[in-house]
Amino acid sequence: MVASDVEAGHPNYVAIWGILVAALIVSLLMAGMKLPVVTLVLIFSVAIVKAWLVAAYFMHLKYEPFFVLLVVFAGLACLYFLFVGLVPDVVFHAASAVGP
Amino acid sequence: MQYARAAHIEHESTEVPTGRLGMWWFLASEIVIFGGLITIYVLFRWRHPEWGAESSHTINAAGGFNTLVLLTSSLTVVLAHKAVSEGKLGEAARLLGFTLLGGAVFLCVKVFEYTHEIREGFLPARSLFWSFYYTMTGLHALHVLGGMVAIACVLVAVRRGKIPHRVEYVGIYWHFVDVVWIFLFPLLYLTS
Amino acid sequence: MTHPVPASHDASLAHAQSFWRTWVFSTDHKTIAKQYMFTGLALALVGGFLAYVIRMQLASPGRPVPGYGAVGPGQYNAVVTLHGTIMIFWVAMPILLAGLGNFLIPLMIGARDMAFPRLNMLSYWIFFISTVILLVSFFVPGGAAAGGWTTYPPLSDRAINSGVDLGVTLWILAVALEFAAFLMGGINFIVTAINNRAPGMRLFDMPLMVWMEVAASIIFLFSVGPLIAGAVLLLLDRTANTGFYDPARGGDPLLFQHLFWFFGHPEVYVILLPGFGAVAEILPVFARKPVFGYRMIVYSTIVTGVLSFIVWAHHQFVAGIDPRLATPFSITTILISVPIGITLFAFIATLWRGSITLQTPMLFALGMIAVFLLGGVTGIHNGVPATDIYIHDTYFVVAHFHYALIPSVFFAFFAAFYYWFPKMFGRRTNEWLGQLHFWGTFVFMNVTFFSMFLLGLMGHHRRISNPHFFEALRTPEADRLQWIATIGALGLLAAQIALIANLILSLTRGVRAERNPWRANTLEWTVESPPPHGNFATLPLVRRGPYEYSAPGRSEDYLPQDAPA
Ligand SMILES: [Cu+2]
Which residues are CB-neighbours of C446 under 8 A, at least 6 positions away?
C371, C488
The mean pLDDT value for A75-82 works out to 96
In order, the DSSP letters of A46-87 are HHHHHHHHIIIIIS-GGGS-HHHHHHHHHHHHHHHHHHHHHI
Q: Is residue C428 part of a domain?
A: yes
Flag whether residue C199 sits within 8 Å of chain B, measured between CB atoms. Answer: yes
The mean pLDDT value for A18-30 works out to 91
**Are residues A51 and B183, on separate chains, in Cβ contact within 8 Å?**
yes
- What are chain B's domains? 35-189 (1.20.120.80)
Cα–Cα distance measured from residue B149 to residue B145, given in angstroms and rounded to the nearest whole number: 6
Q: Is residue C194 part of a domain?
A: yes
Domain extent for C295: 32-526
Distance from CA of A75 to the nearest CA of C (A): 6
Cα–Cα distance measured from residue B170 to residue B177, given in angstroms and rounded to the nearest whole number: 11
How far, in Å, is the centroid of ligand 1 from the Cα of C381? Answer: 12
Distance from CA of B15 to the nearest CA of C (A): 9
Q: Can you give the residue ranges of every domain in chain A?
A: 3-96
Sites in chain B below the pLDDT cut of 70:
1-7, 192
Cα–Cα distance measured from residue C273 to residue C270, given in angstroms and rounded to the nearest whole number: 6
Identify the pLDDT of residue A99: 42
Identify the pLDDT of residue A21: 95
Cα–Cα distance measured from residue C208 to residue C438, given in angstroms and rounded to the nearest whole number: 24
Identify the pLDDT of residue C10: 44
The answer to whether C207 touches C184, Cβ cutoff 8 Å, is: no
Query: Which residues from C are below 8 Å from A86, CB to CB?
Result: 255, 258
Q: Is residue C116 part of a domain?
A: yes
- Say which CATH number the domain at C159 has: 1.20.210.10
Identify the pLDDT of residue C15: 56
**Are residues C247 and A98, on separate chains, in Cβ contact within 8 Å?**
yes
How far, in Å, is the centroid of ligand 1 from the Cα of C378? Answer: 12
**Are residues B64 and A28, on separate chains, in Cβ contact within 8 Å?**
yes
Bridge partners for C414 per DSSP: none
For B8, the closest of C112, C191, C222 (CB atoms) is: C112
Distance, CA of C338 to chain centre: 21
Count of structural domains, chain C: 1
Alpha helices in C65-203 (DSSP H): 73-85, 101-109, 117-136, 159-162, 166-195
Cα–Cα distance measured from residue C335 to residue C318, given in angstroms and rounded to the nearest whole number: 21
Q: What is the pLDDT of residues A47-66, one digit of tens each?
A: 999 999 999 999 999 999 99
Identify the pLDDT of residue C16: 60
| Cα dihedral sign, B161-B162-B167-B173 | negative
Cα–Cα distance measured from residue C376 to residue C336, given in angstroms and rounded to the nearest whole number: 11
**Are residues B183 and A47, on separate chains, in Cβ contact within 8 Å?**
yes
Sites in chain C below the pLDDT cut of 50:
1-12
Tell me which residue of C536, C424, C533 sits closest to C28, measured CA to CA: C533
Q: Is residue C533 part of a domain?
A: no
Q: Is residue C235 part of a domain?
A: yes
pTM: 0.94
Which residues are CB-neighbours of C475 under 8 A, at least 6 positions away?
none
Q: What is the chain B residue with the closest CA to A43?
A: B186
Flag whether residue B127 sits within 8 Å of chain A, measured between CB atoms. Answer: no
Q: Is residue C25 part of a domain?
A: no
